[in-house]
Amino acid sequence: MSWHERVDAVWADEALDDMARVRAIDALAAERAPGDAQALFEQAGARDSAGLEEDAEPLYRAALRGGLEEGLRSQAVIQLASTLRNLGRLEESLTLLAEERRRGGELQDAASAFYALALVSAGRAQEAASVALAALAPHLPRYTRSVTAYAAELASDATD
């Protein structure tokens, strides 16, 4: 089984508690070269999932500095921003997520969802609703145009 498959197996193992998952991911990360970006990303995610956001943050940053491939880079930015939101660092979270939304890509809707959460945490619920509805609208089988227009109206009202 490849390293990636073993990492996936650890994440899929529902019998592991949070700290056992952290230890298992750390053991797999130790098989990689020091500073390996993907290993750092997995270690950050394990800690984040366990509620150890303060421990996860520097690992996410190191993983991003290490040069993750695009899909993992997007995941790391979103997860770091979520961690920062949980740590009460809302402006930094919003900045990271706004940039990730501008970049586009396959995780743009996920970035929008976390951006909306950060907006709610920042007391900007109407703007958050606008962001969430705008991200949802293209996926609706009907009413796409109406929901898009309502999202724009909410955004306009939020900035007035």
CA 50 to chain CA centroid, nearest Å: 15
128, 117 in Cβ contact below 8 A?
Answer: yes
* pLDDT reading at 158 higher than 80: no
Which domains are assigned to the chain? 3-124 (1.25.40.10)
pLDDT tens-digit profile of 75-118?
999 999 999 999 999 999 999 999 999 999 999 999 999 999 99
Tally Cβ neighbours within 10 Å of residue 75: 17
- Tell me what the mean pLDDT of segment 33-61 comes to: 97
Mean pLDDT of the chain: 95
pLDDT tens-digit profile of 127-145?
999 999 999 999 999 999 9
> For the whole prediction, is pTM greater than 0.85?
yes
Would you state the pLDDT for residue 130?
95
One-letter amino acid of 131: V
